Structure 1
Amino acid sequence: MSRLLGQWHALPGRRRSPDYVALAGAIRGLLSDGRLALGMRLPAERELAESLGVSRTTVTAAYRSLRESGHLISRRGAGSFSTLPNGHRVATSGLWTPADDLDMIDLGVAASAAPVELVEAARAAADDLPCYLGSAGYHPTGLIELREAVADGYTARGVPTAADQILITSGTQQALDLVLRLNVPVGASVLVESPTYPNALAALAARRARISTHGVDAASGWDGEMLLGTIRQLRPRLVYLIPEFQNPTGHLMSAALREQLVAAAHTAGADLVVDESFVELPLDGAGVPPPVALFDRRSRVVSIGGMSKPYWGGLRIGWVRASAPLVQRLAALRVGVDMASPVIEQLVAVRLLRQAPAIVSARRAQLAVRRAALVRALREELPEWSFRVPTGGVMLWAELDGPISSALARAAEEVGVRLAPGPRFGLDGTLERFLRLPFSLPEADLEDAVRRIASVRHDLDRAARPSWRTPTVIA
């Protein structure tokens, strides 16, 4: 807590307010930005006072102020826990899209157009199809050729994997949904990052899970000590993390923290679900740390991934890597959902994976150029915004010059730009000072989008009539 609060006594307006008011305001700020998790037990008054070097009376008064404003709940004999005035709920995720608008520059979806090799792969897959037409076409675990190809990819990354440890799904989102259906009963405790992938929050809400968060700092990423401490304290049923170029912050988790996470999860009795959607997209030449599954000795790690980010979102191919018995249980559960993935799409995936080195290399080069274009445009048009340039993935996480993310998204849509505002990536309307900006579109579109955003930024203080809008896809 002391590390998060930093120089709380030097905040603007500090000289005009007592110590306890400044301290309470700093803690509210941590909650609103998602850096302090909701539902977490705060330090005892005496402990925090000693750590901050202030009197216990100051901390007592600050906690009282937080209780009065609805940011703290105290339970006799249990301690004080962080909350928000309007209660704990999952923010809307925007799962549905309106009719396509060709004039709209869509920055809500962090995915690229299909590679040129896709058409030829589809033609070749059609030639392979007759071999499968003599059967019913249902393969709940996936075609053996595709499972072997995915398993080979994990083995090449240092994690020996057999085909029977792979389940093919209809995209990474279905992979997550199946794991949650199997492992998260109603009301179970789940720990996620904040910010995190909005559709993961939607899937957890559908399971009626009790969601707790660990704040990922926009500049420095995960605080390993706090993350491990949170797992030990909460003892959640499941932990969902994105260690490679985290969505939306773009951070890359260190190998040391990955190893410690597996040990902490085992101690706490928690399963780790590791989303590897962006693992193939390092952009600066540096290697990616070993997979989290490398450190797993007790089948606590379930890895999920897919072809949406390095290849194409329209190819609905994802997968789960887990122990063979767990894969069989997931396949049995999957039969009650959609039976199996389409055979033709799996054959296309097999063909594309055979060309993976060339396709992924070209994708990385393309994204690096587009990232440079977006960074340049932001620094020219919106220099008051701050951001860290990610070393991979497809997006950057910008800190705005005020809590205006949702208002800016509404204004930008009027000039033909669709944005994913910060609150979509957190709980309870937090993260209004942040905006996710993908660099998956062509350079000209990115530059045009930033100019349009800048043109409406300074008009946000003007009153505008509210209007209803159809929720949009955030991916």
Structure 2
Amino acid sequence: MAEAGPFRRGEGAGRTDRSVGSRQLAAMLPDPAQARPAYRHLARAISALILDGRLALHVRLPAERELALALNTSRATVTALYDLLRESGYAHSRRGSGTWTALPEGRAPSGITRLLGPQDPAIDLARAAPGLPEQALLDALVQVAPRLAEHAHTPGYHPYGLPELRAAVAERFTRRGLATVPEQILVTAGAQHALTLVLGLLCRPSDRVLVENPSYPNALEALRRARLRTLSVPVTDTGWDIEIAESTFRRAVPRLAYLIPDFHNPTGCLMPDEERVRVLRAAGRCGAWLVVDETLADLALDVPAPPPFASRATPGGAGQVITIGSMSKTHWGGLRMGWLRAPARLVTELAGQRVATDMGGSVLDQLLAVSLLARAGELLPARLEQLRRQREALTAALAEQVPQWRWQLPPGGLSLWADLGAPVASALADRALDHGVRVEGGTHFAPDPGLFEQRLRIPYTASPDILRDAVRRLAAAFAEGPAPSRTGRREHWIV
């Protein structure tokens, strides 16, 4: 196996210029001839890219002449486009240094607004986020109150995580088939926090990172903000293209790969054991780190819950695997409890990385997590049965209301990846708002622009009655026929 050096930083990755090239930006924009006036059409698209984070803030836009050539339009159109961006607050100019992206007063990036939730009465199908049963939370609060009082006499800082929670998570990994000690566990404020810490320690701007296509939007956003170069591997309704993955590891030698092998978000696919072994071997040969997101691993609806990905590694090979997880999907996102499993030395380095911005999580939340994890054998089966009922209600309603749509029934996870049969997802999502449903088109799950316009991710985390009502409204919106997407009208709420 090629030796990466366990904690080598990216090599040869010099400073990345804070600018976007004309061809790069043009590839992210629609054809100017699609709508008139073209400059307004393009301005709406750029503003949406900025709000989505696909076009970063404080980045220099191409010179007018260069962008006009890349878009095959007139310079006057680009001049008007930039003027409109400045007027609306999405850009500003510095004398002698060009035009730069900006955030208008009163607007927030969609990464914030999607977590705040809709501020209207629409049925929310954009967030795959189940709630925690009220009684379970109350019982846990009663149980941990005396223990919290005991901790009140200590400083309360635990940069590695509360010792009893680290032990509980380690025991969970061991029970699932991967022997783990508490020193290999770092408690984080969710899986996204864990991923961000890993990227900050192991990667530098312009490093290559292998990702699935499609993938989890918030993870893709973290990679963009770290200014990393993504190399995408297809995941279809039938699973991963492992030959492309092996070729990408061999030819591109990525610094790191981010994978969701368990009930993949958004497709719901489960990676077979033999493919996991092939990925481990391919990553090992080129010395790439594997960051494996197992947030959904416990949500097995039709198959046994899979063992940890790292358990398939050969002796010594698991040292290049970082496993991240959280309680957001199995319990409640409001707990903000996650973790990572990694070699003990790397855990120590990541804890050092963490204290620069976050000296440790809430002791109360961690005590609640210990209590809830101890009751997983009681709480999880009820959650799984509820998800099965909701999935059945959703698929039955879709088959009745929109029989032309197609999907593969996922063996676990929280959502369907529906194929609409035509590239109308963004327009449908816009119209669905008028019918009282908030849903996101597949383009938000793509590492590259313009893909999955024929797809919707539809979570089954709401009650059966609400899901049936939502599908009736979606069907009514779909029946209205094609219409141009009103880019910039919607906010995005993907979890």
Q: Which runs of structure 2 are paired with 1:132-147 in the superposition (5 Å)?
A: 132-147=151-166
Q: Which runs of structure 2 are paired with 1:254-269 in the superposition (5 Å)?
A: 254-269=272-287
Q: Deviations over 1:364-384 (max 9, x none)?
A: 000000000000000000111
Q: Deviations over 1:349-397 (max 9, x none)?
A: 0000110011111100000000000000000001111000001111110
Q: Which runs of structure 2 are paired with 1:354-369 in the superposition (5 Å)?
A: 354-369=374-389
What residue identity is the alignment partner of 1:307? Answer: M
Q: Deviations over 1:104-134 (max 9, x none)?
A: 2111111111123112102222221011112
**SS of match in other structure, 1:288:** coil
Between the aligned partners of 1:292 and 1:147, the Cα distance in structure 2 is 19
What residue identity is the alignment partner of 1:166? Answer: I
**RMSD over aligned Cα, in angstroms?**
2.0
Is 1:333 equivalent to 2:333 in the alignment?
A: no
- 1:294 equivalent in structure 2: 311
Is 1:198 equivalent to 2:217 in the alignment?
A: yes
Shift in CA distance, 129/450, structure 1 to aligned 2, threshold 3 Å: same
Is 1:461 equivalent to 2:482 in the alignment?
A: yes
Between the aligned partners of 2:487 and 2:240, the Cα distance in structure 1 is 38
**SS of match in other structure, 2:335:** coil
What residue identity is the alignment partner of 2:214? Answer: P
- 2:245 equivalent in structure 1: 227
What residue identity is the alignment partner of 1:243? Answer: P
- 1:441 equivalent in structure 2: 462
Q: Which residue, out of 177, 188, 199, partners 2:207?
A: 188
- 1:159 equivalent in structure 2: 178
Q: Which residue, out of 360, 363, 380, partners 1:343?
A: 363
Between the aligned partners of 2:484 and 2:212, the Cα distance in structure 1 is 34
Between the aligned partners of 2:231 and 2:377, the Cα distance in structure 1 is 38
> 1:93 touches 1:474 (CA, 8 Å); kept in 2?
no
Consecutive unaligned residues in structure 2, runs of 5 or more: 1-69, 73-107
Between the aligned partners of 1:271 and 1:93, the Cα distance in structure 2 is 30
Q: Report how far residue 468 of structure 1 moved.
A: 4.2
Is 1:421 equivalent to 2:444 in the alignment?
A: no
> 2:418 touches 2:455 (CA, 8 Å); kept in 1?
yes
Q: Report how far residue 269 of structure 1 moved.
A: 1.4
> 1:175 touches 1:304 (CA, 8 Å); kept in 2?
yes
Between the aligned partners of 1:470 and 1:140, the Cα distance in structure 2 is 38
Shift in CA distance, 125/469, structure 1 to aligned 2, threshold 3 Å: farther
Between the aligned partners of 2:326 and 2:242, the Cα distance in structure 1 is 27
Between the aligned partners of 1:93 and 1:101, the Cα distance in structure 2 is 15
Q: Report how far residue 289 of structure 1 moved.
A: 3.4
Q: Report how far residue 69 of structure 1 moved.
A: 11
Shift in CA distance, 287/469, structure 1 to aligned 2, threshold 3 Å: same
Between the aligned partners of 1:93 and 1:358, the Cα distance in structure 2 is 39
- 2:430 equivalent in structure 1: 410
What residue identity is the alignment partner of 1:349? Answer: A
Between the aligned partners of 1:418 and 1:399, the Cα distance in structure 2 is 17
Percent of paired sites with the same residue: 43
Between the aligned partners of 2:428 and 2:344, the Cα distance in structure 1 is 47
- 1:250 equivalent in structure 2: 268
- 1:27 equivalent in structure 2: none
What residue identity is the alignment partner of 1:287? Answer: P
Between the aligned partners of 1:445 and 1:325, the Cα distance in structure 2 is 48
Scaled by the length of structure 2, the TM-score of the pair is: 0.75
Between the aligned partners of 2:154 and 2:336, the Cα distance in structure 1 is 22
> 1:93 touches 1:199 (CA, 8 Å); kept in 2?
no
Q: Which runs of structure 2 are paired with 1:366-381 in the superposition (5 Å)?
A: 366-381=386-401
- 1:121 equivalent in structure 2: 140
Q: Which runs of structure 2 are paired with 1:306-317 in the superposition (5 Å)?
A: 306-317=326-337
- 1:94 equivalent in structure 2: 110
Between the aligned partners of 2:183 and 2:137, the Cα distance in structure 1 is 27
Between the aligned partners of 2:484 and 2:130, the Cα distance in structure 1 is 36
What residue identity is the alignment partner of 2:261? Answer: P
Between the aligned partners of 2:276 and 2:357, the Cα distance in structure 1 is 32
Is 1:324 equivalent to 2:344 in the alignment?
A: yes
**SS of match in other structure, 1:386:** coil
Shift in CA distance, 179/376, structure 1 to aligned 2, threshold 3 Å: same
> 1:106 touches 1:417 (CA, 8 Å); kept in 2?
yes
- 2:43 equivalent in structure 1: none
Q: Report how far residue 96 of structure 1 moved.
A: 2.2
Between the aligned partners of 2:342 and 2:378, the Cα distance in structure 1 is 28
Between the aligned partners of 2:117 and 2:162, the Cα distance in structure 1 is 34
Aligned residues: 385
Q: Report how far residue 346 of structure 1 moved.
A: 0.3
Scaled by the length of structure 1, the TM-score of the pair is: 0.78
- 1:211 equivalent in structure 2: 230
Between the aligned partners of 1:164 and 1:276, the Cα distance in structure 2 is 19
Between the aligned partners of 1:222 and 1:96, the Cα distance in structure 2 is 31
Is 1:450 equivalent to 2:466 in the alignment?
A: no
Q: Report how far residue 238 of structure 1 moved.
A: 0.4
> 1:137 touches 1:343 (CA, 8 Å); kept in 2?
yes
**SS of match in other structure, 2:323:** strand
Consecutive unaligned residues in structure 1, runs of 5 or more: 1-67, 71-91
> 1:250 touches 1:397 (CA, 8 Å); kept in 2?
yes
Q: Which moved more, 1:380-389 or 1:101-110?
A: 101-110
Q: Deviations over 1:178-219 (max 9, x none)?
A: 11111111110001001000000100001000011001012x
- 2:129 equivalent in structure 1: 111
Between the aligned partners of 2:489 and 2:183, the Cα distance in structure 1 is 45
Q: Which residue, out of 432, 439, 451, partners 1:430?
A: 451
Which stretches of structure 1, 4 residues or more, deviate above 3 A after TM superposition? Answer: 98-102, 466-470
Is 1:130 equivalent to 2:149 in the alignment?
A: yes
Shift in CA distance, 396/93, structure 1 to aligned 2, threshold 3 Å: farther
Between the aligned partners of 2:250 and 2:109, the Cα distance in structure 1 is 29
Shift in CA distance, 124/435, structure 1 to aligned 2, threshold 3 Å: same
Q: Which moved more, 1:137-146 or 1:452-461?
A: 452-461
**SS of match in other structure, 2:147:** helix
> 2:414 touches 2:460 (CA, 8 Å); kept in 1?
yes
